[in-house]
Amino acid sequence: MFEGHPQEEVEAFINSSAELRRLYHRHRELDKQVLDAELGVLPIDDLTLLQMKREKLQAKDQLTRLFEEKVRAH
């Protein structure tokens, strides 16, 4: 999600607020659940999987947008 950026910069961004930490951890949680569902480890229906993918993408988009805004501001 933050390819090409120093790990320290990304970690500082994520840890800069409780909301960003929550959003980042939610994205990671959804990423793992989607992968497990696609591998057949987590049995869920297609609609639930689709909703999880959408929420994961929304979290990623929001994190990416906020990170880019922070980078542009500095």
Give this prediction's pTM: 0.90
pLDDT for 71? 85
What does the pLDDT look like over 38-59, one tens digit per residue? 999 999 999 999 999 999 999 9
The rounded distance, in Å, linking the Cα atoms of 23 and 4 is 21
pLDDT in tens, 11-27: 999 999 999 999 999 99
Domain ranges of the chain: 7-73
pLDDT over 70, % of the chain: 100
Interatomic CA distance for residues 36 and 63, integer angstroms: 23
Nearest to 26 by CA among 73, 59, 67: 59
User: pLDDT value at position 53?
Assistant: 98
